[in-house]
Amino acid sequence: MRIVALFGLMAGLVFADGFDDNPQKTFKKENTAWITRTETAYHGDGSLYVKRKWSYKAGDITAVEMSGEYEAISNFQHTYNDSGKPTEKKILDGEDNLIAKYSYFYDKSGGYHVDVHTYDQDGKADLMSYVHYYNDLGHWTVRHTLMSDDVVGKMENEFDKDSGLMTKSVISWVLDGEKMSVTSEILYSYHENGQPKEKKEVSPTGMLRSREVYDDRGSNLNLEYYDADGNFAQGIELKPIYTESEDGKSVIKKGETWEIMKGKEREVVDSGKTEIDHVVEK
């Protein structure tokens, strides 16, 4: 999607959240008391790398502003039905040009699907679009990638029957114009408290393609990408910084230190620190 290209690869590594195609994650409601959330990343010499500021209203994200070595503005619009369920969500650039639109459709069984269309700079819908399907438990079961009206890609998700946690995603693409073939699998594991622990993408032959590791509070510790031969290509290591809340009842993430690495020897090409700040309603 165009919004990802705007953010840039290295900025995505520093903030280590990349982009999740699941609309449930993209538009997840945050703390309803938040007005803004700001993450500021500095190089090791203290100079500004990238600053991202999220703005919220009633838990819904309304804007993301990026400044520093990467600059971008994205605005978000949310529409709900009388039952409080989303019907449409839009992402626009800083000049209010439509970047992406998410349309929600509900069925009588309690399931629903989300159509996702992205747009070029002239406002024309891209040929490729996505449809996400959810069952009556809210599980993201299937994603179809469409070229015009033809399904050219598919991701099928599996869940643990007891915990309801996603355990595996099988990704397939039409490779020869007719047959859809499995191109990779994503495997998920979790801490005892249900927080993500590890996410691995592997080829059909078991070759590791990417790996993400999280602590039991949900903070990303590692993000790694591997080349076609299974060698480490690039990635980032992060060390979260936590502090107790003012009332002493919870732990708050205030930032993290990070190192960006490249090549088989994991040479450190950049390092620094990210600070996180929240402004809440009083």
Per-10-residue mean pLDDT of the chain, 282 residues long, equals 36 43 86 93 94 95 94 95 95 93 94 94 89 95 92 95 95 87 95 96 95 95 95 96 86 94 95 93 74
In this prediction, residue 21 carries a pLDDT of 77
Q: What is the pLDDT of residue 7?
A: 36
pLDDT reported for residue 242: 96
How confident is the model at residue 245, as a pLDDT? 81
User: Which pLDDT does position 20 carry in this prediction?
Assistant: 54
Cα–Cα distance between 15 and 52 in angstroms, integer?
9
Check: CB of residue 18 under 8 Å from CB of residue 238.
no
Half-sphere exposure of 240 (CA within 13 A, CB side): 17
Strand positions, DSSP E, 135-266: 140-147, 150-159, 166-174, 180-190, 196-202, 208-214, 220-226, 232-244, 251-262
Q: Which residue has the tokens 């503005």?
A: 73
For residues 11, 167, 174 and 100, what is the CA-based torsion angle, rounded to 10 degrees? -40
- Distance CA(227)–CA(165), nearest Å, equals 29
The reported pLDDT for the residue numbered 19 is 39
Determine which helix (DSSP H) or strand (DSSP E) holds 5, and give its type and residue range: helix 2-7
At 250 the pLDDT is: 85
pLDDT for position 123: 86
Q: pTM here?
A: 0.87
Q: Give the number of other CB atoms < 10 A from CB of residue 84.
A: 6
CA-CA distance, 39 to 51, in Å (whole number)? 6
CA of residue 142 relative to chain centroid, distance:
17
User: What is the three-class DSSP state of 164?
Assistant: coil
Identify the pLDDT of residue 272: 95
Please tell me the predicted confidence (pLDDT) of residue 161: 92
